[in-house]
Amino acid sequence: MTIVEDAPAKINLALHVRHRRADGYHALETLFAFARDGDRITATPAEQDSFAIDGPFAAGLASEGNNLVTRARDRFRAQVAPVPPVAITLTKALPIASGIGGGSADAAATLRTLARLAAVSVEAVMPVARALGADVPACVLGRTSRGVGRGDELVELDGLTDIPLLLVNPLVAVSTAAVFAGWDGIDRGALATGDPMAAALDGRNDLEPAARAVAPVIDTVLAMLAAQPGVRLARMSGSGATCFALFGDGAQRDAADRTIAAAHPDWWRLASRLA
C-alpha cells in the first residue's frame, strides 16, 4: 500500500512578534493559511527504511543525513506507535529556506502518513509535531488558523478558502535564525481577532525589516506584487524571502504571474489558491 500525502506551502498572512520568551523562543501571533500546492511525501512499506528526494529543489537537501522527514519518522516510532519499515520519497517542489514552511510541511506530511499506516489519529502526533518545530503543528492541521505562543497554539478559522494566490521567491535563501536575531525587539501590538481577512489586512509581518536587511531583493519582490492590478494583500511570509499576493480573481493572478515572469524569469513563482 502506497500512501501519498501533500505537504502544501504555508503562508503567514500576518506575523506579529510580541516579545522574546524566557525559553528563548519568541511570542508570536500569526494567521496561518495554506496553498493548494507544495511538496509531496510518498511512503511504501518496504524491507528496510529508506529516504529519497526528487523534484526541482532536491539538490538543496540531498546531502542532509538528518532531514526533518527522517526525524519525524523516527520520533513517531519512538513516541506514538510502531510502524514497519517504509520507503519514503520527498518530492521537493518548494524552495529551501524560503519562509513557506517547506521543511515543517514535509515533517507534518510524514507524521500524517505514518498516522495512517499505524491507524492512529492526527491528534496523537501533535506532541511530536511541537517537538519538531513551531510551525509543524499548523502544517499537520493544514487549515487556516490563528497561532499564538510559539505559533503552535492553534485555533481554526473559516472564511479564506479558494482565494487566488501568487507566491514569488527570488531564489535567495534566508536564515530564519538570522532574521529573528535582526528583529528590533519592539512590540507593535496585537493581531486583530474576528474576521480573518480583516485581521490579515490590518496586520503586518514584523520580520520584514530584518529580512530585507539580509536580502534587499525582497523590497523589489514586494513592490512588484503590490503594483499588480487586483491585489488585495501583498506581504512577505514567515522569515522570507518568499512573498505572496492575494487577488480578487484568478485572471488577475495569472496576469500578475505573467508580468513577473517576463520581468524576472529567474525568480520562482507558484500560482495557486488558498486551501
* Statement: residue 63 has pLDDT above 70: no
Any idea which residue has 514586494 for its cell?
A: 222
Query: pLDDT band at 61, cuts 50/70/90?
Result: confident
Q: What is the pLDDT of residue 135?
A: 96
Per-residue pLDDT tens for 115-168?
999 999 999 999 999 999 999 999 999 999 999 999 999 999 998 999 999 999
* Statement: residue 64 has pLDDT above 60: no
Angle between helix axes 102-118 and 68-79 (nearest 10 degrees) is 30
The residues annotated as belonging to the active site are: 10, 135
Per-residue pLDDT tens for 69-101?
999 999 999 999 999 999 999 999 999 989 999
* Statement: residue 62 has pLDDT above 90: no
Query: pLDDT band at 1, cuts 50/70/90?
Result: confident
Domains of the chain: 3-156 (3.30.230.10), 164-273 (3.30.70.890)
